[in-house]
Amino acid sequence: MAKRIEVSGLNVYYGDFKAVEDVSMTIEPRSVTAFIGPSGCGKSTYLRTLNRMHEVIPGARVEGKVMLDQQDLYASGVDPVAVRRVVGMVFQRPNPFPTMSIFDNVASGLKLNGVKDRKKLTEVVERSLHGANLWNEVKDRLDKPGAGLSGGQQQRLCIARAIAVEPEVILMDEPCSALDPISTLAIEDLIEKLKDRFTVVIVTHNMQQAARVSDQTAFFNLAATGKPGRLIEMGPTKQIFSNPNEKATEDYITGRFG
Amino acid sequence: MSSTDGTAPPTAPPDGPRDEKLELGPVGHLGDRLFAGMARGSGVLVVAIVAFVGIFLLALAIPALANNESSFLFSRIWEPGANPPQFGIAALFYTTVISSIIAMAIAVPIAVGVALFTTYYAPKRLAAPVAHAIDLLAAVPSIIYGLWGILFFAPILRPVIDGLGSALGWIPLFQKSVTDNVGVVFTASVVLAIMILPVVTAISREIFAQTPVAHREGALALGSTRWEMIRMAVLPYGRSGVVSASMLGLGRALGETVAVLIILSVPNGNDPWTSSIFAGGETFASKIANNAAEFDSPDKTGAYIAAGLVLFVVTFLVNSAARLIVARSGPGGKRPRRIKRIGDKPQSEGATL
C-alpha cells in the first residue's frame, strides 16, 4: 500500500480553456502533501486528475503523464473506474449516501468490489471506522442512517468509506472547509494517522492547516484571471512556510496577496 | 491587492443627534392585501369546484342507488333500464383497474429506462431530441391513440396475444379468448401505457437529474461504474419521485375515455363474464361514454353517475396517495431537512416538466 505519484508535464483543459499548465511533481508515499493557492488557481482541478475524477465533467481532458509507481494512469486500456478504486477521494462537503445506514455507507465500496461475506464486511467496517476515529461514536448505531450524524462525523464517515477499500492514495479536496474548528481538529488528527498507511494529498485554503498537517507543500498560482494555473513552488512544508524560494509564495503565505 | 475587509467606507456619515423623527408609521400594504385575497380566493375556488363535482355526483346517484335491486359494489349485472333497475360495478371496476395496472406495469420500467438514458447515458445532442419525442407523445389527442390502436396496432399485437394465451392460458388472467377479436383489454392496456409514458418519464427524468452532484461523485470516487453510480446514488434519491409519477400515470390511465372506448369491444350481453385480459370489456369511463345517449330517465342517468362517482373516488384516492408519498418522503428519501443542512444545491440538467 501507499504508492509514489510522479506527475510530468500535465496540462488540464476544460474544452478549449487551459485550466492548469505544465505541472510536474513527485508525491512521496506515506506522506501528506498539501496544495495551497488562491481560489481558481486550478489546485482542485489538478487534484481530480490524480484519480481521473475530472472526467466526470463534460469536456475536461488532460495532457501529460501521471505515474502511480510504474503505472501510467492515462495509458490506453486503463479504466478510470479501476483507477478510482486505487486512488480514493474525500470531498469538500461530507457526502454519505443518504438512504444508507452507517454500516452500508462504509461497506459500499467493498460491495462494489464484490465482497458479500457478512463476516468480512463487518470486520472491515469496524476496522475502517476505527481507522477514521469514528468507531466509539457510532458503534451502537451502525444501522442508523449516516445522514443523522453531525457534519464532522459525516466527513469521518466518508473517510472511513474511502479507506475501507484499502486504496493506495487518498485525495482530499478541502475536507474541512464545511466543518467547525473542533471537527476540523478531529480530521487533522486523523490525517496525521492516515499517513502511516496511505499517501495523502490534501487541498486546503487554510494555511495553518497546511502547516500543521503536511510534510510537503505545493503552491499554485495563476498569472491573471483567465490564464491557466501553474505550480509555482513545491518543497518541505517547513521550508515553504519559513523560507520560500519564490516571491509569490512568500506574498501569499504572509497574506500580502489573495 | 484587494482590500482585506469591506468595512469602514472612506467617508463615514457625520455622527450626532438628528432633529427629525423617524417615519415608522404604516407604509400601506394594499398590494399585500390584494394579492393575499386573490390567492386565498383562488384556493377556495378550486376546493369548491371539487366539492361541487362530488356533491353533484352524489345528489344524482343517491336516488338511483336507492332504487337499485342489485348489489351496487359486487354485482356484474348492468341493467339500469329494467324494472326494477339492477346495476353493479364489479365488472367495470375490474376492467378499469386491471387495464390501468397492466398499463402502469408496462410504462414504468420503460419510463425509468428512458429517463435514465436521457439524464445519464445519452450524449447531450441525443438526449434532448429523445426527451422531446417522448414529450410529444403527450400532445397526441386520445382519439388518435384510439384509432391508431384499433386499426393499426391491435392487428400487430394479435400474435403476441395468441402467444401469451398459449403459454400462460392456464392462468385465468391470460385465458385464451374464444374469438379472434382484437379489441381486448390487453390492447387497450398497451395503448394506455404509451399514453402515460410521457408524464411518468418527464417526472422521473426531472427527479433523476436533481440527484445532488455530491452523491453522484461520492459513488464514482469509490470506483463505481455508471450503472453502479445510478444504483447507489440516483435510484435511491429518485425512488419516491418515480413512485408518485407512476401513481399520477395510473390516475390518468384509470380515467382515460376515448381511446379505451374505441379500442375495447363491448362483450355480448349473453357471454359469460371472464377475467381474461384477452377478452373485450368496459371500463367506467368507456361504459359511460358508450351509453351517453341512454340518459333519458333519472334512474338510468343516476346509475351511470354512480359509476362515475366510483371512478372519481378511485382516481382521487390514487392521486392523493401519490401526493402523500411525495410529501412524506420528498426527493432523496426520508430526510429533506438533512439535504438543507448539508447545503447541497440540487442541480437540474435542463430537465423540464
**DSSP line for A191-242:** HHHHTTTSEEEEE-S-HHHHHHH-SEEEEEEESSTTSPEEEEEEEEHHHHHH
Grid cell locating B248:
399520477
Within 8 A by CB and 6+ apart from B265, the residues are B181, B182, B183, B184, B280
Residues of A in contact with B124 (CB under 8 A): 58
Q: What is the CA radius of gyration of chain B?
A: 28
> What does the domain layout of chain B look like in residue ranges?
98-284+317-342
Rounded average pLDDT over A177-196: 91
Q: Is residue A52 part of a domain?
A: yes
Asked if A112 and B223 count as a contact pair (C-beta separation under 8 A), the reply is: yes
pLDDT digits (tens, 9 = 90+) for A36-94: 999 888 899 999 999 999 998 888 999 999 999 889 999 999 999 999 999 999 999 99
Q: Is residue A123 part of a domain?
A: no
- Facing residue for B338 by CB, picked from A91, A147, A162: A147
State yes or no: pLDDT of B349 exceeds 70.
no
Residue B17: pLDDT band (50, 70, 90) is: low
Length, in residues, of chain B: 353
More confident residue, A50 or B349: A50
- Facing residue for B342 by CB, picked from A85, A94, A113: A94
Residues of B in contact with A94 (CB under 8 A): 342
pLDDT the model gives residue B14: 57
Contact assignment for B335 to A151 by CB distance below 8 Å: no
pLDDT the model gives residue A257: 62
pLDDT digits (tens, 9 = 90+) for A9-46: 999 999 999 999 999 999 999 999 999 999 888 899 99
pLDDT the model gives residue B335: 42
Domain hosting A26: range is 5-95+169-253
Contact assignment for A56 to B220 by CB distance below 8 Å: yes
Grid cell locating A142:
451502525
Residue B11: pLDDT band (50, 70, 90) is: low
Rounded average pLDDT over B255-263: 92
Terminal alpha carbon distance of chain B: 47
Q: B319 burial class (0-12, 13-18, 19+ CB within 10 angstroms)? A: middle
pLDDT the model gives residue A218: 95
State yes or no: pLDDT of A171 exceeds 90.
yes
Beta bridge partners of A145: A101
Quick one: three-class SS letters along chain B? CCCCCCCCCCCCCCCCCCCCCCCCCCCCCHHHHHHHHHHHHHHHHHHHHHHHHHHHHHHHHHHHHHHCCCCCCCCCCEECCCCCCEECCHHHHHHHHHHHHHHHHHHHHHHHHHHHHHHHHCCHHHHHHHHHHHHHHCCCCHHHHHHHHHHHHHHHHHHHHHHHHHHHCCCHHHCCCCCCCCCCHHHHHHHHHHHHHHHHHHHHHHHHHCCCHHHHHHHHHCCCCHHHHHHHHHHHHHHHHHHHHHHHHHHHHHHCCHHHHHHCCCCCCCCCCCCCCCCCCCCHHHHHHHCHHHCCCHHHHHHHHHHHHHHHHHHHHHHHHHHHHHHHHCCCCCCHHHHHHHCCCCCCCCCCC
Contact assignment for B221 to A89 by CB distance below 8 Å: yes
Residue B350: pLDDT band (50, 70, 90) is: very low
Question: For cell 427524468, what's the residue?
Answer: B205
User: Of all residues in chain B, what percent carry a pLDDT higher than 90?
Assistant: 44
A interface with B, Cβ–Cβ below 8 Å = 51, 53, 56, 58, 81-86, 88-89, 91, 93-100, 108-109, 112-113, 145, 147-148, 151, 154, 158, 161-162, 165, 178, 255, 257-258
Give me the number of domains chain A comprises. 1
Q: Is residue A121 part of a domain?
A: no
Rounded average pLDDT over B21-44: 89
Interface test with A, best of B121, B222, B225, B335 (most A CBs within 10 A): B222
pLDDT the model gives residue B13: 54
B63 in contact with chain A, both atoms CB, cutoff 8 A: no
Of B42-46, B178-182, B210-214, B274-278, the range with the lowest mean pLDDT is: B178-182
pLDDT digits (tens, 9 = 90+) for B103-147: 999 999 999 999 999 999 988 889 889 988 998 998 999 999 999
Dist CA B319 CA B321 (whole Å): 5
Grid cell locating A228:
491557466
State yes or no: pLDDT of B352 exceeds 60.
no
State yes or no: pLDDT of B15 exceeds 80.
no
Write the CATH number for A187. Answer: 3.40.50.300
Grid cell locating A105:
455507507
pLDDT digits (tens, 9 = 90+) for A232-242: 999 999 999 99
pLDDT digits (tens, 9 = 90+) for B50-84: 999 989 889 988 988 888 888 888 888 888 877 78
B217 in contact with chain A, both atoms CB, cutoff 8 A: yes
Enumerate residues 245 to 274 of chain B having a beta carbon within 8 A of any beta carbon in chain A.
none
- Shortest distance between the Cα of A162 and any Cα of chain B, in A, equals 7
Q: Respond yes or no on whether the N-terminal peptide bond of residue B84 is cis (omega within 30° of 0).
A: yes
More confident residue, B338 or B37: B37
- Under DSSP, is residue A116 helix (H, G, I), strand (E, B) or coil? coil
Across the A:B interface, residue pairs with CB atoms under 8 Å apart total: 91
Q: Is residue A235 part of a domain?
A: yes
Of B30-39, B174-183, B223-232, B269-278, the range with the lowest mean pLDDT is: B174-183
- Shortest distance between the Cα of B236 and any Cα of chain A, in A, equals 7
Dist CA B329 CA B335 (whole Å): 7
Superfamily of domain covering B98-284+317-342: MetI-like (1.10.3720.10)
Of B50-64, B190-204, B271-285, B301-315, the range with the lowest mean pLDDT is: B271-285
- Average pLDDT of chain A, as a whole number: 91
**A149 in the Ramachandran plot: left (φ > 0), alpha (ψ -120 to 50) or beta?**
beta
More confident residue, B333 or B95: B95
Residue B16: pLDDT band (50, 70, 90) is: low
**DSSP line for A150-162:** -HHHHHHHHHHHH
pLDDT the model gives residue B314: 92
Measured between CA atoms, the residue of chain B closest to residue A252 is: B1
pLDDT the model gives residue B330: 53
Residues of B in contact with A112 (CB under 8 A): 222-224, 228
pLDDT the model gives residue A102: 95
**B16 in the Ramachandran plot: left (φ > 0), alpha (ψ -120 to 50) or beta?**
left
- Shortest distance between the Cα of B227 and any Cα of chain A, in A, equals 11
- DSSP state at residue A117: -
Rounded average pLDDT over B188-205: 94
Contact assignment for A84 to B338 by CB distance below 8 Å: no
